[in-house]
Amino acid sequence: MSRYSLEDEPSNLDEMPLMMSEEGFENDESDYQTLPRARVNHRQRGLGWFLLGGWKVLCGSCCDCLAHICRRKKELKARTVWLGCPEKCEEKYPKNSIKNQKYNIFTFVPGVLYQQFKFFLNLYFLVVACSQFVPSLKIGYLYTYWAPLGFVLAVTMVREAVDEVRRYQRDKEMNSQLYSKLTVRGKVQVKSSDIQVGDLIIVDKNQRIPADMIFLRTSEKNGACFIRTDQLDGETDWKLKVAVGCTQRLPAVGDLFSITAYVYAQKPQLDIHSFEGNFTREDTDPQIHESLSIENTLWASTVVASGTVIGVVIYTGKETRSVLNTSYAKNKVGLLDLELNRLTKALFLAQVVLSIVMVAVQGFVGPWFRNLFRFVVLFSYIIPISLRVNLDMGKSAYGWMIMKDENIPGTVVRTSTIPEELGRLVYLLTDKTGTLTQNEMVFKRLHLGTVSYGTDTMDEIQSHIIQSYAQVTSQPSNGSTGGATPSRKTQTSGPKVRKSVNSRIHEAVKAIALCHNVTPVYESHVNGETESAEADQDYSDDNRTYQASSPDEVELVRWTQSVGLTLVNRDLNSLQLKTPSGQILSFHILQIFPFTSESKRMGIIVREESTGDITFYMKGADVAMASIVQYNDWLEEECGNMAREGLRTLVVAKKCLSEEQYQDFENRYNQAKLSIHDRGLKVAAVVESLEREMELLCLTGVEDQLQADVRPTLELLRNAGIKIWMLTGDKLETATCIAKSSHLVSRSQDIHVFRPVSNRGEAHLELNAFRRKHDCALVISGDSLEVCLRYYEHEFVELACQCPAVVCCRCSPTQKAQIVTLLQQHTANRTCAIGDGGNDVSMIQAADCGIGIEGKEGKQASLAADFSITQFKHIGRLLMVHGRNSYKRSAALGQFVMHRGMIISTMQAVFSSVFYFASVPLYQGFLMVGYATIYTMFPVFSLVLDQDVKPEMALLYPELYKDLTKGRSLSFKTFLIWVLISVYQGGILMYGALVLFESEFVHVVAISFTALILTELLMVALTIRTWHWLMVVAEFFSLGCYLASLAFLNEYFGIGRVSFGAFLDLSFITTWPFLWKVSAITLVSCLPLYIIKYLKRKFSPPSYSKLSS
């Protein structure tokens, strides 16, 4: 991060207040990271702080400190790498292996146990279970405590182990790929993980590049090759890379060892779009120096698309660009789990308080401390261990339902722990290319100023082209037979005469066919390394594919081919076009000015070989070209029209140069290129001297087709109260175009484009300008975002969150992840990231819920995601139906399981208080285990099939989803209602049993337990909103099981250990008094709740019931 000079802060900043605390403003930029945290740290740290979570913070910081000492990060340094001599390296560089595993052999068990026991719930069960080894505290059998705990841990361990083994296999496959390495003795095969800095590696076509390399030579004649970078930056187009001139010129591959040369490379960095280095050859008399830039590099994880390449490795393993840009997956924990964890803490407090009350009423007599602990264990059913078992099984069930849903085929759930998160999302961060769009360009419109051609009138253009080339060839041969332009004299005779439409179309199409960076590629049919004579290659149209760094350019060249002017060949300094009559026109490329995001335009100067005419062609964004072309009255208006249709526009212009003009330009240009200071500025100034009064030829419109149903899906998500942010690596204009055409920004909305800012003062002014705007979408570029976050993080996030939509363009993969984390910290809302390329992985892993699309850009994103889908439109159903259901079901299930535990604890409390506060269990071990499993488990678990509205309704009224984000299905309020219900029912059941059965006191257990089971079954029926046949089966099955056990397990129905000698006889159960008394107790415990529910539904129905009625 460069140090900014103090002039960045002009005094006028203070006159314009930006909502910000004083302390923040005085901060130097060196500690900008501490800004939001600085405010938090001023709180008092007392005993309260320590008890409420300070201990966690302290333990955490101690562990971090230890970890830091154990693995001090090595400082990354610039390096000098000798070709083919790894042993000459001064430093030890990291091993070139890929490692995505979370644990190793030794850390697996402790790691998984830590992840489990950092939850209060599990830790609590562990303590209770361990206490049963102490004889004086033992209550009931050991298996009643250890079996459920063991089951939960075993399931988790197995799940983690399977994931870990899969990761290990994937890594092993990548690390054991074989590559050819050049040595003095010839080629040897090496594994990817054994490659070192300084090795010379040969990579064949369609092979992955194993480490970051400098490109030394290639089998292609022109000294350049294409690589595919989709796993690095998410763009599907091919990038052209150029070999180092000095090594490409060597006669044979073996000569690489006969020269002494080295590469100086800068220290490893995050930025994948820049590189600075030098190549030096020492054994020649004046040493040869070549400067190296990004076009001489081959980054790891990219794939060679043409030819065979040889490179020298400069960065390996952890220092490669692709690894530096990936973030490590964190263990994701759902919000619902955190909320339940908070509730269990509240329950634990209640349990301790209850135990203390019991001991206090006893009067703290005898070993009261031991009694206190016995009471805590007795009441441990308040927090049921089956809560974790039920929720985990529930999560698996939701995952299974999602994968089985026929409306969203191909959906895969990769993280089974967070399906409820899908129901709580507030921010959706989406990638653009390949996620919202198909990344397929279609040429839609050509506008010549007076006339416009659309898709239906392209045949007219074709006939014009055929006509104009026919005229040229039929002219008497006066030296311009091959040429497409009539000879120079007619042209210079003054521009007064308006050109015919025919010649204007001809000029425009020719300009589009020449002004680009596209290379035609032919699949060679010759096997073997060397391609024999050119004639062997098949130059037919079917065998030709075009490659370029932008899909727009490819589409433009494909379009010129469709209207008759075909690009057939291109190398570094010549171009060949084929006319409709099959004639070949050759052009010599004199200069190329590539497209940059600053200039927003590209130019090319060509000399036509048949006539010798020199023409400067240029195309670019309307913003950049408007000031360059001659005055006209239509350009701005037409560009606006096309942009509103969501087309990407390019303005094409040309200028004819005389030989003298060109020579003068070339001299100045070459001089500027050699200057050391401000080279970029000087070169730009020379080029700008040419860019004046150019003749405007045409305006083109290309459409990037959206994925199926993107518009309705975005509309649905917006109505559901989800704010959508688009994060893309693409250009600002394109991103804005797509935002409009996909209706991410609605037609009526204003768009505020955040001006590029580079320092604090500019950011301040621009943020103030943005604050004055209301209800408008924000478009900001990655660099400006970086500056704003450096100085005004809090303010910027606050403003951006008020926007209906935000578009961030030119974002690096790490920036995408940074934006996700920002939203999580500042808004405390749940975020979801969706993407399809390798560049979206860090964003997907950082979000609370990551969704990957299996797209053209490979499977990397869908493998790293928690959920993977096949099309963007499926996200609507995934969230509105499955997310909503999962959350509501889990909330109901969690609270019901807690209610089940609280009822029995209330009964235990009543029982103990009647029996002189003895710490004696009411029900025996087997009854307790049976209660939590066989008797009530199925009906309670069948709540995962419950739904409040039909899926069609949920999709029709996305507003239903809005309610969920407030988290009302599971809150302290709903929880307290359940507590009251439990206390009421537990009290009624126990007192009822004691009051009605004074004579046969022994039967209390049988009666209260039977009434309890019936109450639970009725309560499940009360909670269910939509019946499913399985629910009915579950209810009757459980009842059947209970009745069967009454008959066969009667020795358990005594009180305490069989101390009262009570054995149950079947004759008692079948008597009328037993039946009517049980029914009466059950009725009193349940009927009021049914009445209350009915009244509530009648007088204040929930939103969903209005729809379902």
- pLDDT at position 664 over 60: yes
pLDDT for 937 equals: 86
pLDDT mean over 815-842: 91
Beta strands (DSSP E) in 57-183 are: 79-82, 178-183
Q: What is the mean pLDDT of residues 296-321?
A: 92
DSSP letter at 811? Answer: -
CA distance 393 to 396: 5
Written as one letter, the residue type at 64 is D
Asked if residue 575 has pLDDT above 70, the reply is: yes
pLDDT for 63 equals 58
- Going by DSSP bridges, is the β-strand pair 277-281/288-292 parallel, antiparallel, or unpaired? antiparallel
The contacts of residue 678 (CB under 8 Å, 6+ apart) are: none
pLDDT at 47: 54
- 624, two tokens: 């950049």
Please spell the DSSP secondary structure of 1009-1077, one letter per residue. HHHHHHHHHHHHHHH-SS--HHHHHHHHHHHHHHHHHHHH-GGGGSSTTGGG-----HHHHTSHHHHHH
Range 942-956 average pLDDT: 92
pLDDT confidence bin for 863, thresholds 50/70/90: confident
Residue 451 has pLDDT above 50, yes or no: yes
The DSSP call for residue 694 is B
Q: Average pLDDT, whole number, for the chain?
A: 83
pLDDT the model gives residue 362:
82
Is the distance from CB of 310 to CB of 216 less than 8 angstroms?
A: yes
The answer to whether residues 211 and 96 touch, using CB atoms and an 8 Å cutoff, is yes
Query: 627: which 2 tokens?
Result: 């000031």
Question: What are the structure tokens assigned to 1091, written together?
Answer: 């009445």
pLDDT band at 240 (very low <50, low <70, confident <90, very high): confident
| Alpha carbon distance 1098, 1109 (integer Å) | 12
From 123-137, 232-246, 892-906, the region with the lowest mean pLDDT: 232-246
Please report the pLDDT score of residue 1065 as a whole number.
52
> Which residues make beta-bridge pairs with 240?
226
pLDDT digits 0-9 by tens, 311-328: 999 999 999 998 888 777
Q: For residue 260, give every residue at least 6 positions away whose Cβ sits within 8 Å of its Cβ, in sequence order, or none.
A: 82, 281, 282, 283
- Fill in the amino acid letter for 60: G
Least confident of 166-170, 468-472, 586-590: 468-472
- Torsion sign, CA atoms 907, 908, 909, 914: positive
Whether the Cβ atoms of residue 204 and residue 222 lie closer than 8 Å to each other? no
Q: CB within 8 A of 776, min separation 6: which ones?
A: 749, 750, 751, 752, 803, 804
Top-confidence residue, 42 or 309: 309
pLDDT band at 366 (very low <50, low <70, confident <90, very high): confident
Mean pLDDT for 777-804 is 93
**What single-letter DSSP state applies at residue 450?**
S
Selected residue with higher pLDDT from 946 and 471: 946
What SS3 class is residue 441? strand
**φ, ψ at 696 (rounded to 5°):** -75, 125
pLDDT score recorded for residue 405: 95
Side-by-side strand order, sheet with 261-265: 79-82, 261-265, 277-281, 288-292
Kindly state the average pLDDT of the residues 1007-1026: 91
| Nearest by Cα to 217 from 264, 261, 178 | 261
Digit-coded pLDDT (tens) for 532-545: 334 445 567 778 88
Q: Say if residues 210 and 298 touch (Cβ distance below 8 Å).
A: no
- Start-to-end CA distance of the chain, whole Å, equals 61
Residue at token pair 């509501």 = 888
SS3 779: strand
Please report the pLDDT score of residue 303 as a whole number.
Answer: 92
Tokens of 423: 């129901």
Residue the block writes with tokens 């020298």: 312
Give tens-digit pLDDT for 32-70: 333 333 333 444 445 555 555 555 666 666 656 665 555
Q: Residue 426's pLDDT is what?
A: 95
Distances (CA, A) of 1014 to 989, 990, 1040, 1041: 11, 14, 11, 12
Residues designated as active site: 431
Per-residue pLDDT band at 1091 (split at 50, 70, 90): very high
* Mean pLDDT of the 818-829 span: 94
Distance CA 629, CA 633 (A): 11
Q: Which helix (H) or strand (E) holds 190?
A: strand 186-191
Contacts of 187 (CB under 8 A, 6+ apart): 180, 181, 202
Q: In terms of pTM, does the model score above 0.85?
A: no
Answer for the pair 680, 844: CB distance below 8 angstroms, yes or no: no
* Long-range Cβ pairs for the range 972-980 (8 Å, 24+): 972/343, 972/346, 974/891, 974/895, 975/343, 975/346, 975/895, 975/898, 978/895, 978/896, 978/898, 978/899, 978/902, 979/902
Token pair for 659:
């030989």
Is residue 482 over pLDDT 50?
no
pLDDT tier at 263 (50, 70, 90 boundaries)? Answer: very high
Name the range with the highest mean pLDDT among 286-300, 837-851, 878-892. Answer: 878-892
How high is the pLDDT of residue 483?
Answer: 40
Q: SS3 string of 339-366?
A: HHHHHHHHHHHHHHHHHHHHHHHHCCCC
